[in-house]
Amino acid sequence: MPKRFMSIWFRHLTTDWLTLKQPELKDVPFVFAIKDHGRMVITATSRAAEVHGVKAGMVAADAKAIIVGLQVIDEQPDRAAKLLHALGEWCIRYTPIIAIDLPDGLILDVSGCTHLWGGEREYLKTIVLKLRSKGYDARAAMADSIGAAWAIARFGRLSPIIESYGQATALLPLPPVALRLEPVITDRLQKLGLRTIGSFIRMPRSVLRRRFGEHLLLRLNQALGNEDEPMQLLQPVEPYQERLPCMEPINTATGIEIAIRRLLEGMCKRLQQDGKGLRTGVLKCYRVDGKIEQVQIGTNRASYHVEHLFKLFELKIATIEPALGIELFVLDAPKVDDADPVQERLWGEVGGLDDTGVAELLDRIAGKINTNVIHRYLPAQHYWPERSVKKAATIMEKSTTDWRISRPRPTQLLARPQPVHVTSLVPDYPPMLFIYQDKVHNIKKADGPERIEREWWLENGERRDYYHVEDEDGKRYWIFRLGHYVEGEINEWFIHGFFA
């Protein structure tokens, strides 16, 4: 079965946009123009100006002679691209594979999408009517190739839908410009009396190449579907994506729940077959008013368990504003990892003692609070305290070294040591008291010192002498003196952690 492509042509893209912003211009002739070699050249015309014969490419001064009072507005070079990008994002509700076709069109790969709207004719009709209802003069066509769809959308006079393998017949009556040829080639064809594609399509390829070059053969082969045409996609398609269009707009929490469950069932089945599990899931809800509602979940370990993932999304449903209704749900899994099938089987066991339950609990807590508030740490092969721990990427990550248990370590380590003021009676011994955050702590017990040398292969600096101290309230702290004790000099002291 060949691929199917749809080309959408916005006949008055930029002028329709301005008319939407300024409705008073609806029946007023106006054009966009840009300076070119000292004169203003028209780049786009409004419908009212086009009726009087004003076209893109004309000099603005000549157009003013045709229409008295014609408004000439300065064109912004990137306006069309921005508009097409926005319209392309709106069209993602109908297919994920969309490319911008400058200066006034979009290309959609609709393979496998049209049946969701009742067939190709209803699919095309739905899109065109919605674009026109938004105020854009849109035309569209569908064919096996991008080139044929582009040609029919702009120059076709009969049906906009070309049946599979029928593009060659549909192209015959169209002018050569429908092949997206360079102006010099179309002028040469015109001079030779070749005014339709049918007048030269059956000529020997060697003759066409000799007279008109490779570009004509390339465009002809692309239109006939004999040569693939690359698409610069508006948004890269996620490898794992599920789409669910709605026959009627959904605006209830129950309807959203049903949609999420159906999407997860389809995605989790694919993930399980590939031995993968979801780590990040993004649900996009396309509303009938053109806006997109989006929620995201994350898991501590790769999972394709539908019920668990649904519970995570269920926590987010209250944040989705359906407004007049949601017409398309799209579920993406931008991040997946290899899943352990043995671990996945434990989801169905009752009373199974495993980290699966811990992962589920952490996922739900993160969904209610924030994904950034829960962290797991592993030991790192460093003596310097700040480098002796590292954040684990997942709950399943294994430690490559053991925790140091030969000497006491605080349960809470400060990210950066904080300076304290101390009073010491005996040099090179723990202080009698220290002042931290304007509070005096009299030291009753102390253990140490533990000397930790700086990792010279990573950085330069002084060593540290650490003490495990306890104040009069029974609270314990990890403090250190920076550098060697030198008689007559004052050393700096710091607090670095707290014991339970």
pLDDT band at 66 (very low <50, low <70, confident <90, very high): very high
Report residue 45 CA to chain centroid gap.
34
Measure the CA–CA gap between 27 and 19, rounded to whole angstroms.
9
∠ CA 223-228-229, rounded to 5°: 75
pLDDT band at 110 (very low <50, low <70, confident <90, very high): very high
Q: Is the pLDDT of residue 352 over 80?
A: no
* Nearest Cα to Cα of residue 409 among 319, 309, 499: 499
pLDDT at 350 (0 to 100):
40
The tally of CA atoms less than 13 A away on the side-chain side of residue 29 is 18
Q: Is the pLDDT of residue 27 over 80?
A: yes
pLDDT at 234 (0 to 100):
87
pLDDT at 289 (0 to 100):
86
Cis peptide before 29 (omega within 30 of 0): no
Residue 484 has φ and ψ, to the nearest 5°, of -75, 150
Measure the CA–CA gap between 121 and 119, rounded to whole angstroms.
6
Measure the CA–CA gap between 245 and 243, rounded to whole angstroms.
7
Answer yes or no: are the C-beta atoms of 343 and 356 closer than 8 Å.
Answer: yes
Across the range 265-285, mean pLDDT stands at 92
Q: Provide the phi-psi class of 165: left if phi over 0, else alpha when psi is between -120 and 50, else beta.
A: left
pLDDT at 247 (0 to 100):
83
Answer yes or no: are the C-beta atoms of 338 and 274 closer than 8 Å.
Answer: no
Q: Which two tokens stand for residue 419?
A: 């300076």
Q: Is this model's pTM higher than 0.85 or not?
A: no
Q: What percent of the chain has pLDDT over 70?
A: 91
DSSP readout, 136-179?
--EEEEEESSHHHHHHHHHH--S-SBPPTT-HHHHHTTS-GGGG
Residue 400 identity: T
Q: Is the pLDDT of residue 282 over 50?
A: yes
Answer yes or no: are the C-beta atoms of 398 and 392 closer than 8 Å.
Answer: no
Measure the CA–CA gap between 46 and 267, rounded to whole angstroms.
46
pLDDT band at 343 (very low <50, low <70, confident <90, very high): very low
Answer yes or no: are the C-beta atoms of 46 and 28 closer than 8 Å.
Answer: yes
Q: Is the pLDDT of residue 496 over 70?
A: yes
**Mean pLDDT score of the chain:** 88
Q: Is the pLDDT of residue 214 over 90?
A: yes
Residue 213 identity: G
Strand partners, 447: 468
pLDDT at 111 (0 to 100):
92
| H helical segments located in 194-325 | 205-212, 214-224, 253-274, 306-314
pLDDT at 396 (0 to 100):
65
Q: Which residues of 45-59 are buried (b: 16+ CB within 10 A; e: fewer)?
A: bbebbbeeebeeebe
Question: Helices 355-368 and 306-314 sit at what angle, rounded to 10 degrees?
Answer: 20
Q: Which two tokens stand for residue 330?
A: 């799209």
pLDDT at 401 (0 to 100):
80
Report how far apart, in Å, the C-alpha atoms of 356 and of each of 144, 215, 301 are: 48, 60, 9
pLDDT at 344 (0 to 100):
45
pLDDT at 368 (0 to 100):
66
Measure the CA–CA gap between 345 and 486, rounded to whole angstroms.
64
Q: What percent of the chain has pLDDT over 90?
A: 59
Pick the CATH number of 242-368 from 3.40.50.450, 3.30.1490.100, 3.90.180.10, 3.40.50.300: 3.30.1490.100
pLDDT at 367 (0 to 100):
63
Q: Is the pLDDT of residue 376 over 80?
A: no
Q: Is the pLDDT of residue 346 over 80?
A: no
Measure the CA–CA gap between 20 and 22, rounded to whole angstroms.
6
Task: Determine which of 306-315, 343-352, 392-401, 467-476 has the lowest per-residue pLDDT on average.
Answer: 343-352
Q: Provide the phi-psi class of 388: left if phi over 0, else alpha when psi is between -120 and 50, else beta.
A: alpha
Strand partners, 298: 280
Please name the residue that has the structure tokens 């702590």: 441
Domain residue limits, the chain: 242-368, 412-498
pLDDT at 387 (0 to 100):
85
pLDDT at 371 (0 to 100):
58
Say which residue, 396 or 18, is predicted with more confidence: 18
Task: Determine which of 7-11, 194-198, 200-204, 287-291 has the lowest per-residue pLDDT on average.
Answer: 287-291
Say which residue, 359 or 123, is predicted with more confidence: 123
pLDDT at 141 (0 to 100):
97
Q: Which two tokens stand for residue 96?
A: 């994920």
Say which residue, 387 or 132, is predicted with more confidence: 132
End-to-end distance of the chain based on CA atoms, in angstroms? Answer: 68
pLDDT band at 351 (very low <50, low <70, confident <90, very high): very low
Chain segment 116-161, per-residue pLDDT in tens? 888 999 999 999 999 999 999 999 999 999 999 999 999 998 899 9
pLDDT band at 261 (very low <50, low <70, confident <90, very high): very high
Measure the CA–CA gap between 308 and 311, rounded to whole angstroms.
5
